[in-house]
Amino acid sequence: MEKIKLKPCPFCGKHVEIYTVGNILTKSRSAVIKCKYCNVTCEVAAIKFTTDWCRAKVIEKWNFRCVEVKLKDENERLKDLLEEVLLIYGNGFANLKQRYLVIRIKAIIEERK
């Protein structure tokens, strides 16, 4: 199986731990990723699949969530920045090009709401 690198915690940036619960003899199995600094966890459990399967799935889920959190944060910062630009220049743009820019910024902010 290809080894996929586990991303650090999206909230604090620290290294996270992964562990599995159960084995081939237990009724259910799971894999958990946990950040011991902010207690964020991510879990995948299964009845029909092995702990290796759970492990691969939880890494996939965790890494996807990390990207989502990062994008959401980036989005928020861009939205704040655009709103700031509008506050400063919203009424002061004189030429057509600048007014067009304001309209485009307003449209982006609307889309992101």
For Zn ion, the binding residues in 25-44 under the rule CB under 5 A are 35, 37-38
Question: Please, which residue, 11 or 49, has the CB nearer to Zn ion?
Answer: 11
Q: Residue 13 Cβ, how far from Zn ion at the closest point, in Å?
A: 7
Q: Residue 34 Cβ, how far from Zn ion at the closest point, in Å?
A: 9
Question: Please, which residue, 19 or 37, has the CB nearer to Zn ion?
Answer: 37
Exactly one of 6, 11, 50, 83 binds Zn ion (CB under 5 A); that residue is 11
Specify whether the CB–CB gap between 22 and 29 falls below 8 A. Answer: yes
The distance of Cα 112 from the centroid of its chain, to the nearest Å, equals 16
Measured distance CA(53)–CA(71) in Å, rounded: 27
Element containing residue 64 per DSSP (H, E): helix 51-89
Output the residue with the shortest Cβ distance to Zn ion. Answer: 9
Q: Residue 15 Cβ, how far from Zn ion at the closest point, in Å?
A: 9
Query: What crossing angle do the helices spanning 51-89 and 96-112 adopt, rounded to 10°?
Result: 140
Specify whether the CB–CB gap between 64 and 9 falls below 8 A. Answer: no
Contact residues toward Zn ion (CB under 5 A) are 9, 11-12, 35, 37-38
